[in-house]
Amino acid sequence: MKEDFLHYIWQHQYYRNTDLATTESEPLQVLRTGYYNTDAGPDFREAIVKIGDVEWSGSVEIHLRASDWRRHNHQTDLKYDQVTLHVVWEADETISRTDGTIIPVLELKDRVDTALAYTYKQLQEARTIIPCANVWPDVPEITKTMMLGRALTERLEQKGHEVLQSYTTYNHDWEATAYHVLFKGFGFKINQEPMERLVKAIPATIVRKHRHLFQLEALLFGQAGFLADAEGEYVQMLAKEYGFLSHKYSLGDKAMQRHHWNFMRMRPANFPTVRLAQLAAVLANRQSFFTAILEAQTIKHFEALFMAEVSEFWQQRFTFSPEPSKATKTMGQGSAHNLVINVAIPLLAAYSQFTGNRTHLEKAIELLEKVKEASNKVTRLYEALGWKATSAADNQAALSLYKNYCQPVNCLQCAIGNKILKQNLLSRS
Protein backbone atom coordinates (compact mmCIF):
# COMPACT_ATOMS: atom_id res chain seq x y z
CA MET A 1 0.00 0.00 0.00
CA LYS A 2 1.11 3.56 -0.68
CA GLU A 3 0.46 6.68 1.33
CA ASP A 4 -1.46 8.29 -1.52
CA PHE A 5 -4.17 5.64 -1.06
CA LEU A 6 -4.58 6.82 2.53
CA HIS A 7 -4.73 10.43 1.32
CA TYR A 8 -7.51 9.35 -1.04
CA ILE A 9 -9.34 7.50 1.77
CA TRP A 10 -9.07 10.51 4.07
CA GLN A 11 -9.99 13.09 1.43
CA HIS A 12 -13.14 11.22 0.43
CA GLN A 13 -13.77 9.84 3.93
CA TYR A 14 -14.07 6.34 2.50
CA TYR A 15 -13.87 4.49 5.81
CA ARG A 16 -16.37 3.22 8.34
CA ASN A 17 -16.97 6.08 10.73
CA THR A 18 -19.40 4.54 13.19
CA ASP A 19 -18.06 4.75 16.75
CA LEU A 20 -15.09 6.67 15.48
CA ALA A 21 -12.39 6.99 18.15
CA THR A 22 -8.70 7.66 18.56
CA THR A 23 -6.34 4.87 19.59
CA GLU A 24 -6.74 6.23 23.13
CA SER A 25 -10.49 5.45 22.82
CA GLU A 26 -11.53 9.08 22.83
CA PRO A 27 -14.64 9.74 20.67
CA LEU A 28 -13.67 11.41 17.39
CA GLN A 29 -15.68 13.42 14.87
CA VAL A 30 -14.27 14.78 11.59
CA LEU A 31 -15.90 18.14 10.96
CA ARG A 32 -13.64 19.20 8.08
CA THR A 33 -11.05 17.02 6.29
CA GLY A 34 -8.89 20.06 5.37
CA TYR A 35 -7.17 21.08 2.12
CA TYR A 36 -4.53 18.89 0.55
CA ASN A 37 -1.16 20.57 0.96
CA THR A 38 1.34 20.23 -1.88
CA ASP A 39 4.02 22.30 -0.10
CA ALA A 40 6.27 21.32 2.78
CA GLY A 41 4.48 20.55 6.03
CA PRO A 42 1.51 18.41 7.08
CA ASP A 43 -0.62 16.68 4.40
CA PHE A 44 -3.98 18.39 5.05
CA ARG A 45 -4.35 21.93 6.36
CA GLU A 46 -7.24 23.72 8.03
CA ALA A 47 -8.93 20.54 9.17
CA ILE A 48 -11.37 20.54 12.09
CA VAL A 49 -11.80 17.52 14.33
CA LYS A 50 -13.66 17.06 17.60
CA ILE A 51 -11.89 14.83 20.10
CA GLY A 52 -13.93 14.16 23.20
CA ASP A 53 -15.70 17.46 23.86
CA VAL A 54 -13.03 19.71 22.36
CA GLU A 55 -13.02 21.01 18.79
CA TRP A 56 -9.53 21.34 17.28
CA SER A 57 -8.54 23.33 14.20
CA GLY A 58 -5.23 22.39 12.66
CA SER A 59 -3.55 19.95 10.32
CA VAL A 60 -3.77 16.26 9.62
CA GLU A 61 -0.69 14.19 8.86
CA ILE A 62 -1.03 10.82 7.16
CA HIS A 63 1.34 7.86 7.28
CA LEU A 64 1.22 4.14 6.69
CA ARG A 65 2.63 3.52 10.17
CA ALA A 66 2.62 5.82 13.19
CA SER A 67 6.36 5.22 13.55
CA ASP A 68 6.89 6.97 10.17
CA TRP A 69 6.39 10.19 12.14
CA ARG A 70 9.62 9.56 14.01
CA ARG A 71 11.42 8.20 10.93
CA HIS A 72 10.64 11.49 9.14
CA ASN A 73 11.83 13.48 12.20
CA HIS A 74 8.52 15.31 12.60
CA GLN A 75 8.95 15.20 16.40
CA THR A 76 11.68 17.85 16.01
CA ASP A 77 10.05 19.87 13.23
CA LEU A 78 8.04 22.93 14.32
CA LYS A 79 5.95 22.81 11.13
CA TYR A 80 4.29 19.65 12.48
CA ASP A 81 3.37 21.09 15.86
CA GLN A 82 0.03 22.23 14.40
CA VAL A 83 -1.01 18.60 13.66
CA THR A 84 -4.16 17.79 15.60
CA LEU A 85 -4.70 14.27 14.24
CA HIS A 86 -2.31 11.63 12.93
CA VAL A 87 -4.13 9.30 10.51
CA VAL A 88 -2.37 5.98 9.96
CA TRP A 89 -3.01 2.55 8.56
CA GLU A 90 -1.33 0.96 11.54
CA ALA A 91 -0.72 2.59 14.92
CA ASP A 92 2.52 0.93 15.94
CA GLU A 93 3.75 3.59 18.38
CA THR A 94 2.85 6.77 20.24
CA ILE A 95 4.12 9.99 18.68
CA SER A 96 4.54 13.53 19.98
CA ARG A 97 5.16 17.16 19.02
CA THR A 98 8.40 19.08 19.66
CA ASP A 99 7.19 19.96 23.19
CA GLY A 100 6.51 16.31 24.00
CA THR A 101 2.68 16.50 23.90
CA ILE A 102 1.07 13.34 22.53
CA ILE A 103 -0.76 13.57 19.17
CA PRO A 104 -4.11 11.72 18.88
CA VAL A 105 -4.10 8.93 16.30
CA LEU A 106 -6.82 7.46 14.09
CA GLU A 107 -6.03 3.95 12.87
CA LEU A 108 -7.73 2.97 9.62
CA LYS A 109 -6.73 -0.62 8.97
CA ASP A 110 -9.95 -2.13 10.36
CA ARG A 111 -12.16 0.62 9.01
CA VAL A 112 -11.50 0.49 5.26
CA ASP A 113 -13.72 -1.71 3.13
CA THR A 114 -11.61 -4.72 2.14
CA ALA A 115 -13.11 -4.63 -1.38
CA LEU A 116 -11.92 -1.03 -1.82
CA ALA A 117 -8.40 -1.92 -0.63
CA TYR A 118 -8.44 -4.97 -2.91
CA THR A 119 -9.50 -2.88 -5.93
CA TYR A 120 -6.76 -0.35 -5.24
CA LYS A 121 -4.18 -3.16 -4.95
CA GLN A 122 -5.39 -4.69 -8.21
CA LEU A 123 -4.90 -1.37 -10.02
CA GLN A 124 -1.44 -0.88 -8.54
CA GLU A 125 -0.30 -4.37 -9.39
CA ALA A 126 -2.02 -4.83 -12.75
CA ARG A 127 0.15 -6.32 -15.45
CA THR A 128 -1.79 -4.80 -18.34
CA ILE A 129 -0.35 -1.66 -19.96
CA ILE A 130 -3.56 0.17 -19.04
CA PRO A 131 -3.98 -0.96 -15.42
CA CYS A 132 -7.78 -0.81 -15.49
CA ALA A 133 -8.04 -2.65 -18.83
CA ASN A 134 -10.09 -5.50 -17.33
CA VAL A 135 -12.90 -3.26 -16.17
CA TRP A 136 -12.60 -0.39 -18.68
CA PRO A 137 -15.73 -1.56 -20.58
CA ASP A 138 -17.76 -1.50 -17.32
CA VAL A 139 -16.96 2.16 -16.60
CA PRO A 140 -19.83 4.45 -17.70
CA GLU A 141 -19.15 6.28 -20.99
CA ILE A 142 -19.90 9.62 -19.36
CA THR A 143 -17.08 9.08 -16.84
CA LYS A 144 -14.62 8.26 -19.62
CA THR A 145 -15.74 11.25 -21.70
CA MET A 146 -15.42 13.56 -18.72
CA MET A 147 -11.94 12.27 -17.82
CA LEU A 148 -10.72 12.47 -21.41
CA GLY A 149 -12.05 16.03 -21.61
CA ARG A 150 -10.08 16.88 -18.46
CA ALA A 151 -6.96 15.18 -19.84
CA LEU A 152 -7.28 17.20 -23.06
CA THR A 153 -7.58 20.50 -21.20
CA GLU A 154 -4.54 19.60 -19.12
CA ARG A 155 -2.55 18.78 -22.25
CA LEU A 156 -3.44 22.13 -23.81
CA GLU A 157 -2.54 23.90 -20.59
CA GLN A 158 0.83 22.13 -20.58
CA LYS A 159 1.47 23.04 -24.22
CA GLY A 160 0.44 26.62 -23.55
CA HIS A 161 2.74 26.73 -20.55
CA GLU A 162 5.72 25.58 -22.66
CA VAL A 163 5.01 28.35 -25.19
CA LEU A 164 4.79 30.90 -22.39
CA GLN A 165 8.26 29.86 -21.26
CA SER A 166 9.54 30.58 -24.79
CA TYR A 167 7.66 33.88 -24.67
CA THR A 168 9.79 34.84 -21.64
CA THR A 169 12.95 33.70 -23.44
CA TYR A 170 12.00 35.87 -26.42
CA ASN A 171 11.63 38.97 -24.22
CA HIS A 172 7.84 38.97 -24.34
CA ASP A 173 7.71 39.18 -28.12
CA TRP A 174 4.75 37.16 -29.42
CA GLU A 175 5.87 37.24 -33.05
CA ALA A 176 9.33 35.87 -32.21
CA THR A 177 7.72 33.23 -29.98
CA ALA A 178 5.37 32.27 -32.79
CA TYR A 179 8.34 31.89 -35.19
CA HIS A 180 9.96 29.51 -32.73
CA VAL A 181 6.84 27.33 -32.54
CA LEU A 182 6.36 27.56 -36.31
CA PHE A 183 9.92 26.58 -37.24
CA LYS A 184 9.85 23.69 -34.78
CA GLY A 185 6.53 22.54 -36.23
CA PHE A 186 8.01 22.61 -39.73
CA GLY A 187 10.71 20.21 -38.52
CA PHE A 188 7.94 17.64 -38.10
CA LYS A 189 9.35 14.60 -36.29
CA ILE A 190 12.74 14.22 -37.87
CA ASN A 191 14.12 17.76 -38.27
CA GLN A 192 12.82 19.51 -35.16
CA GLU A 193 16.24 19.97 -33.62
CA PRO A 194 17.84 21.63 -36.70
CA MET A 195 14.71 23.75 -37.18
CA GLU A 196 15.03 25.01 -33.60
CA ARG A 197 18.67 25.75 -34.25
CA LEU A 198 17.74 27.63 -37.41
CA VAL A 199 15.14 29.84 -35.75
CA LYS A 200 17.76 30.84 -33.19
CA ALA A 201 20.18 31.62 -36.03
CA ILE A 202 17.84 34.16 -37.65
CA PRO A 203 16.71 37.04 -35.40
CA ALA A 204 12.95 37.64 -35.69
CA THR A 205 13.55 41.32 -36.45
CA ILE A 206 15.29 40.32 -39.71
CA VAL A 207 12.46 37.99 -40.75
CA ARG A 208 10.03 40.83 -40.11
CA LYS A 209 12.03 43.24 -42.27
CA HIS A 210 12.40 40.92 -45.26
CA ARG A 211 9.01 39.56 -46.13
CA HIS A 212 9.56 39.01 -49.82
CA LEU A 213 9.46 35.31 -50.70
CA PHE A 214 12.81 35.39 -52.51
CA GLN A 215 14.58 37.11 -49.62
CA LEU A 216 13.05 34.73 -47.10
CA GLU A 217 14.24 31.74 -49.12
CA ALA A 218 17.72 33.27 -49.28
CA LEU A 219 17.73 33.79 -45.50
CA LEU A 220 16.35 30.37 -44.59
CA PHE A 221 18.33 28.27 -47.06
CA GLY A 222 21.49 30.34 -46.55
CA GLN A 223 21.47 30.11 -42.72
CA ALA A 224 20.48 26.43 -42.97
CA GLY A 225 23.67 25.76 -44.98
CA PHE A 226 22.07 24.72 -48.28
CA LEU A 227 23.55 27.43 -50.49
CA ALA A 228 27.24 26.82 -49.90
CA ASP A 229 27.99 24.62 -52.91
CA ALA A 230 24.69 24.10 -54.74
CA GLU A 231 24.65 24.63 -58.48
CA GLY A 232 22.25 26.33 -60.85
CA GLU A 233 21.10 29.82 -61.76
CA TYR A 234 18.36 30.12 -59.11
CA VAL A 235 20.69 28.90 -56.37
CA GLN A 236 23.36 31.38 -57.40
CA MET A 237 20.83 34.18 -57.12
CA LEU A 238 19.74 33.00 -53.67
CA ALA A 239 23.39 32.65 -52.59
CA LYS A 240 24.11 36.19 -53.72
CA GLU A 241 21.13 37.58 -51.83
CA TYR A 242 22.07 35.56 -48.76
CA GLY A 243 25.65 36.86 -48.97
CA PHE A 244 24.31 40.41 -48.88
CA LEU A 245 21.93 39.75 -45.94
CA SER A 246 24.45 37.70 -44.03
CA HIS A 247 27.03 40.47 -44.28
CA LYS A 248 24.52 43.20 -43.43
CA TYR A 249 23.33 41.44 -40.26
CA SER A 250 26.53 39.55 -39.38
CA LEU A 251 24.75 36.20 -39.54
CA GLY A 252 27.75 34.14 -40.63
CA ASP A 253 28.86 32.82 -37.25
CA LYS A 254 25.48 31.21 -36.61
CA ALA A 255 25.12 29.64 -40.05
CA MET A 256 24.42 25.90 -40.10
CA GLN A 257 25.70 23.25 -42.44
CA ARG A 258 23.91 20.89 -44.74
CA HIS A 259 24.86 17.82 -42.71
CA HIS A 260 22.80 19.11 -39.77
CA TRP A 261 19.68 18.16 -41.73
CA ASN A 262 18.17 14.73 -41.95
CA PHE A 263 17.05 13.38 -45.35
CA MET A 264 17.17 9.70 -44.39
CA ARG A 265 14.15 7.42 -44.55
CA MET A 266 11.67 10.07 -45.65
CA ARG A 267 9.59 10.72 -48.72
CA PRO A 268 10.91 13.54 -50.95
CA ALA A 269 7.81 15.61 -50.14
CA ASN A 270 9.03 15.70 -46.51
CA PHE A 271 12.64 16.67 -47.27
CA PRO A 272 13.80 19.62 -45.15
CA THR A 273 14.48 21.59 -48.34
CA VAL A 274 10.79 21.27 -49.26
CA ARG A 275 9.74 22.22 -45.71
CA LEU A 276 11.97 25.31 -45.74
CA ALA A 277 10.47 26.41 -49.06
CA GLN A 278 6.98 25.95 -47.58
CA LEU A 279 7.99 27.79 -44.41
CA ALA A 280 9.26 30.74 -46.47
CA ALA A 281 5.90 30.77 -48.29
CA VAL A 282 3.96 30.87 -44.98
CA LEU A 283 6.02 33.84 -43.77
CA ALA A 284 6.10 35.72 -47.08
CA ASN A 285 4.13 38.93 -47.51
CA ARG A 286 2.63 38.58 -44.05
CA GLN A 287 2.71 41.46 -41.61
CA SER A 288 2.47 39.16 -38.59
CA PHE A 289 2.26 35.38 -38.45
CA PHE A 290 1.02 35.46 -34.85
CA THR A 291 -1.82 37.84 -35.74
CA ALA A 292 -2.77 35.50 -38.59
CA ILE A 293 -3.11 32.67 -36.04
CA LEU A 294 -5.33 34.81 -33.82
CA GLU A 295 -7.46 36.00 -36.74
CA ALA A 296 -8.00 32.64 -38.45
CA GLN A 297 -11.32 31.21 -37.32
CA THR A 298 -12.12 28.07 -39.25
CA ILE A 299 -10.13 25.01 -40.17
CA LYS A 300 -10.21 26.27 -43.79
CA HIS A 301 -8.51 29.51 -42.73
CA PHE A 302 -5.76 27.53 -41.02
CA GLU A 303 -5.33 25.23 -44.00
CA ALA A 304 -4.97 28.30 -46.23
CA LEU A 305 -2.39 29.75 -43.83
CA PHE A 306 -0.18 26.67 -43.83
CA MET A 307 -0.77 25.53 -47.41
CA ALA A 308 0.81 28.68 -48.87
CA GLU A 309 2.06 28.36 -52.45
CA VAL A 310 5.83 27.87 -52.76
CA SER A 311 8.00 29.69 -55.32
CA GLU A 312 8.05 28.46 -58.90
CA PHE A 313 11.43 26.78 -58.39
CA TRP A 314 10.10 24.61 -55.54
CA GLN A 315 6.99 23.70 -57.45
CA GLN A 316 9.32 21.52 -59.51
CA ARG A 317 11.96 20.45 -56.99
CA PHE A 318 12.48 18.46 -53.80
CA THR A 319 16.13 19.47 -53.51
CA PHE A 320 18.48 21.96 -55.20
CA SER A 321 19.03 19.47 -57.97
CA PRO A 322 19.31 21.24 -61.37
CA GLU A 323 16.90 18.65 -62.81
CA PRO A 324 13.21 19.51 -62.28
CA SER A 325 10.87 16.83 -60.86
CA LYS A 326 7.18 16.64 -60.29
CA ALA A 327 6.71 18.38 -56.92
CA THR A 328 3.65 20.24 -55.59
CA LYS A 329 2.66 23.87 -55.08
CA THR A 330 1.63 23.45 -51.46
CA MET A 331 1.98 20.98 -48.64
CA GLY A 332 -0.68 18.30 -48.27
CA GLN A 333 -3.72 18.66 -46.03
CA GLY A 334 -2.36 16.05 -43.58
CA SER A 335 0.80 18.08 -42.99
CA ALA A 336 -1.23 21.29 -42.63
CA HIS A 337 -3.38 19.58 -39.97
CA ASN A 338 -0.23 18.44 -38.21
CA LEU A 339 0.82 22.11 -38.05
CA VAL A 340 -2.61 23.08 -36.74
CA ILE A 341 -2.07 20.60 -33.89
CA ASN A 342 1.57 21.45 -33.17
CA VAL A 343 1.75 25.16 -34.01
CA ALA A 344 -1.66 26.84 -33.96
CA ILE A 345 -3.11 25.00 -30.95
CA PRO A 346 -0.14 25.57 -28.56
CA LEU A 347 -0.03 29.26 -29.53
CA LEU A 348 -3.78 29.67 -28.95
CA ALA A 349 -3.54 27.81 -25.63
CA ALA A 350 -0.64 30.02 -24.53
CA TYR A 351 -2.42 33.23 -25.52
CA SER A 352 -5.54 32.08 -23.68
CA GLN A 353 -3.47 31.61 -20.50
CA PHE A 354 -1.67 34.90 -21.04
CA THR A 355 -4.82 36.98 -21.56
CA GLY A 356 -7.10 34.96 -19.31
CA ASN A 357 -9.50 34.86 -22.26
CA ARG A 358 -10.89 31.35 -22.71
CA THR A 359 -12.16 32.12 -26.23
CA HIS A 360 -8.75 31.20 -27.66
CA LEU A 361 -8.70 27.89 -25.77
CA GLU A 362 -12.23 27.10 -26.93
CA LYS A 363 -11.17 27.87 -30.50
CA ALA A 364 -8.22 25.50 -30.06
CA ILE A 365 -10.50 22.69 -28.84
CA GLU A 366 -13.02 23.28 -31.66
CA LEU A 367 -10.18 23.11 -34.18
CA LEU A 368 -8.88 19.86 -32.72
CA GLU A 369 -12.35 18.38 -33.03
CA LYS A 370 -12.36 19.21 -36.74
CA VAL A 371 -8.94 17.75 -37.48
CA LYS A 372 -8.40 14.12 -38.31
CA GLU A 373 -5.29 12.49 -36.94
CA ALA A 374 -4.10 8.96 -37.53
CA SER A 375 -4.14 6.65 -34.54
CA ASN A 376 -0.80 6.02 -32.85
CA LYS A 377 0.72 3.50 -30.45
CA VAL A 378 -0.97 5.08 -27.46
CA THR A 379 -4.45 5.61 -28.89
CA ARG A 380 -4.41 2.01 -30.11
CA LEU A 381 -4.06 0.87 -26.47
CA TYR A 382 -7.45 2.41 -25.68
CA GLU A 383 -8.96 1.38 -28.99
CA ALA A 384 -8.13 -2.20 -28.07
CA LEU A 385 -10.45 -1.70 -25.06
CA GLY A 386 -13.33 -0.64 -27.30
CA TRP A 387 -12.82 3.14 -27.25
CA LYS A 388 -12.80 4.95 -30.59
CA ALA A 389 -11.00 8.20 -31.41
CA THR A 390 -12.89 10.31 -33.94
CA SER A 391 -10.70 13.40 -34.07
CA ALA A 392 -7.34 14.85 -33.08
CA ALA A 393 -9.03 16.06 -29.87
CA ASP A 394 -9.64 12.43 -28.88
CA ASN A 395 -6.08 11.46 -29.79
CA GLN A 396 -4.57 14.30 -27.79
CA ALA A 397 -6.81 13.47 -24.82
CA ALA A 398 -5.72 9.81 -24.92
CA LEU A 399 -2.05 10.83 -25.07
CA SER A 400 -2.50 12.99 -22.01
CA LEU A 401 -4.47 10.33 -20.12
CA TYR A 402 -1.77 7.77 -20.81
CA LYS A 403 1.23 9.95 -20.02
CA ASN A 404 -0.11 11.63 -16.88
CA TYR A 405 -2.36 8.98 -15.39
CA CYS A 406 -2.22 5.42 -16.75
CA GLN A 407 1.53 5.09 -17.26
CA PRO A 408 2.45 6.39 -13.76
CA VAL A 409 -0.62 4.51 -12.36
CA ASN A 410 -2.19 7.70 -11.02
CA CYS A 411 -5.56 5.99 -10.76
CA LEU A 412 -6.47 7.81 -7.55
CA GLN A 413 -6.30 11.15 -9.38
CA CYS A 414 -8.28 9.83 -12.35
CA ALA A 415 -12.08 10.09 -12.55
CA ILE A 416 -12.20 6.64 -14.16
CA GLY A 417 -10.11 5.23 -11.30
CA ASN A 418 -12.41 6.91 -8.78
CA LYS A 419 -15.43 5.33 -10.40
CA ILE A 420 -13.75 1.93 -10.35
CA LEU A 421 -12.81 2.29 -6.70
CA LYS A 422 -16.20 3.60 -5.65
CA GLN A 423 -18.02 0.81 -7.38
CA ASN A 424 -15.33 -1.76 -6.48
CA LEU A 425 -15.55 -2.94 -10.06
CA LEU A 426 -12.33 -4.92 -9.92
CA SER A 427 -13.34 -6.92 -6.85
CA ARG A 428 -16.46 -7.97 -8.72
CA SER A 429 -14.77 -8.85 -12.00
CB of 1 vs ligand SF4, minimal distance in Å: 16
For residue 202, give the 3-state DSSP assignment: coil
Residue 65: partners with Cβ closer than 8 Å, 6 or more residues away: 88, 89, 90, 92
At 35, phi and psi to the nearest 5? Answer: -105, 135
CB–CB of 11/30 below 8 Å? Answer: no
| Helices (H), ranges, 225-344 | 233-249, 272-283, 289-295, 299-306, 333-339
Which residue, 333 or 423, has its beta carbon nearer to ligand SF4? 423
Smallest distance, Å, CB 406 to ligand SF4? Answer: 3
Please identify, using beta-carbon distances, which residue of 331 and 411 lies nearer to ligand SF4.
411
66 versus 420: smaller Cβ distance to ligand SF4:
420
Candidates 232, 227, 229, 218; CA nearest to 321 is 232
Do residues 405 and 151 lie in contact, with contact meaning Cβ atoms separated by under 8 Å? yes
Minimum distance from residue 418 beta carbon to ligand SF4 (Å): 8
Beta bridge pairs of residue 56: 49
Task: Find the shortest distance in angstroms from Cβ 150 to ligand SF4.
Answer: 11
Our CB check for ligand SF4 shows the closer of 144 and 184 to be 144
Minimum distance from CB of 149 to ligand SF4 (Å)? 13
362: CB partners within 8 A, 6+ apart: none
Question: Least separation, in Å, of the C-beta of 123 and ligand SF4?
Answer: 6
Query: Which of these, 222, 87, 355, 252, lies nearest to 230 by C-alpha position?
Result: 222
Q: List interacting residues with ligand SF4 (CB under 6 A).
A: 123, 130-132, 401, 405-406, 410-411, 414, 416-417, 420
Compute the chain's Rg from CA coordinates. Answer: 29
Which residue's CB is nearer to ligand SF4, number 358 or number 422? Answer: 422
- Whole-angstrom distance, CA of residue 226 vs CA of residue 276: 10
Looking at the Cβ atoms of 132 and 181, the one nearer to ligand SF4 is: 132
CB of 427 to ligand SF4, least distance (A): 15
| Of 148 and 340, CB closest to ligand SF4 | 148
| Closer Cβ to ligand SF4, 339 or 416, answer by number | 416
CA distances from 427 to 58, 120, 133, 405, 420 (A): 36, 9, 14, 21, 10
Count of beta carbons in the 10 Å neighbourhood of residue 399: 17
Smallest gap from residue 132 Cβ to ligand SF4 (A): 3
